[in-house]
Amino acid sequence: MNERVKLHQVFFETRKYGKYLRVSAIDPISNTEAVSTGPITLGEEALKHAAKMKLEYILTKQKK
């Protein structure tokens, strides 16, 4: 059965590099990290969402 991991708590770290924003999503339990990078115009919330989704995907793959 494909049960995707759903995270209830995620830590975010954001860094600005010129016109780009790098967002790291970190799972506090496993210390696993996923990174999303994009232009600042895309918006911080969109990049946070992308990083969280990527982190959930990574944790789901590790679970198998």
Find all residues with CB under 8 Å of 7, minimum gap 6, and list them: 27, 52, 55, 56, 59
25 within a domain of the structure (yes/no) = yes
Count the alpha carbons within 13 Å of 52 in the hemisphere toward its beta carbon: 13
6 within a domain of the structure (yes/no) = no
- Provide the pLDDT for residue 2: 67
CA 11, CA 13: separation in Å to the nearest integer?
7
Domain count, the chain: 1
pTM beyond cutoff 0.85: yes
20 within a domain of the structure (yes/no) = yes
Tens digit of each residue's pLDDT (9 = 90 or more) over 3-52: 888 888 999 999 999 999 999 999 999 999 999 999 999 999 999 999 99
Q: What's the token pair of residue 11?
A: 């830590």
User: In which domain, by residue range, is 41 found?
Assistant: 11-63
CA 53, CA 61: separation in Å to the nearest integer?
12
5 within a domain of the structure (yes/no) = no
